[in-house]
Every structure is written in C-alpha cells, then in structure tokens.
Amino acid sequence: SLLFSPATWRELIFPNHKITCDAVKARGAYLSVHSDGNVNQVLDGIVELGYDVVHPYQESAGMDFQYYLDNHRSDFALMGGLDVQTTIGFGDYDRLRSDIERILGMFRDGGMLFCTSHYVQDHCTIEELVFAFDLIYKTVRS
C-alpha cells in the first residue's frame, strides 16, 4: 500500500511530479514512474500526470493484472511481470514457467514490457534467469 494517504499524495507529490511531467511531455518524450508497493489508489493521478509506463505493477503487492487490463490498458503500459519476491529465485521451474506463460498470455496483445519486477535479487540464480528469459523470448516469438 501507499506510505501515505491518497490525499497527501495528491497534495504533496502530484504537484511536483506535474512540473517534471509537463516539461518532459512538452518535449515529446515518454515518461516512466517507478514506485514500490501498491499504487492502485493513485492510478488516476498517475494517468492524469501523463505517465506512459508504470513500474512495477506487482501482483504480490496486491495489484491485479486483470484490473489493469479492464481499466487502464489504454492509459499506460506496465513494466515488470516477473516477480522477484514470489516467482523467480526459488528453484521452482514449474511455477516459473506457469507464471511466465500465464502473464504473457494475458498480455499477448501488448501492454507489458516484460522484465523482473525489481532489480534481480541475491536469491535469483543465473540459471533461473536464463531459463526465464529464454522462455520469454521463445514465447513472444511463437
């Protein structure tokens, strides 16, 4: 969840982000916001600010991919999907394959920049990362 109320976010964070977002958008560039935790309560403000990408949009933080697809798909793209807190880094290749295939299936028509939900954690092995990204590469090209 948020570290402070949506009202506080609107009062203190939004105006400062707006200055930066307006300047970037005026130059025709894309905007990405990174925020840990569940930001669903301020997604309308994120849309209003003009962000093109939200990272991460993390199921383990209570953010539902179907909610995004139903309500915000035309507003911004997601970046993440491969959860480093629940999916990769635990040696469970069946779960890793299942989650990757499920998420890529949901986003087969776009809307997701598929990568890890955060930086690669210490518990994530090179073998799992190679497995995951090989599977992602093969899946999106088939």
pLDDT for position 80: 93
Determine contact, residues 14/5, Cβ cutoff 8 Å. Answer: no
pLDDT for position 23: 98
* pTM beyond 0.85, yes or no: yes
pLDDT for position 36: 82
* Domain 6-140: CATH architecture, name and number where available: Alpha-Beta Barrel (3.20)
Per 3-state DSSP, the chain is made up of helix, strand and coil in percentages (nearest 5) of 50, 10, 40
**Is the predicted pLDDT of residue 1 greater than 80, yes or no?**
no
pLDDT for position 37: 85
Q: Which two tokens stand for residue 98?
A: 């299942």
pLDDT for position 2: 84
* Nearest-10 Cα torsion for 73, 74, 77, 82: 10
Q: How many CA atoms lie within 13 A of 1 on its CB side?
A: 4
pLDDT in tens, 65-106: 999 999 999 999 999 999 999 999 999 999 999 999 999 999
Domain spans of the chain, in order of start: 6-140
- pLDDT bracket for residue 42 (50, 70, 90): very high
- pLDDT bracket for residue 122 (50, 70, 90): very high
Pairing mode, strands 53-55 and 32-34: parallel
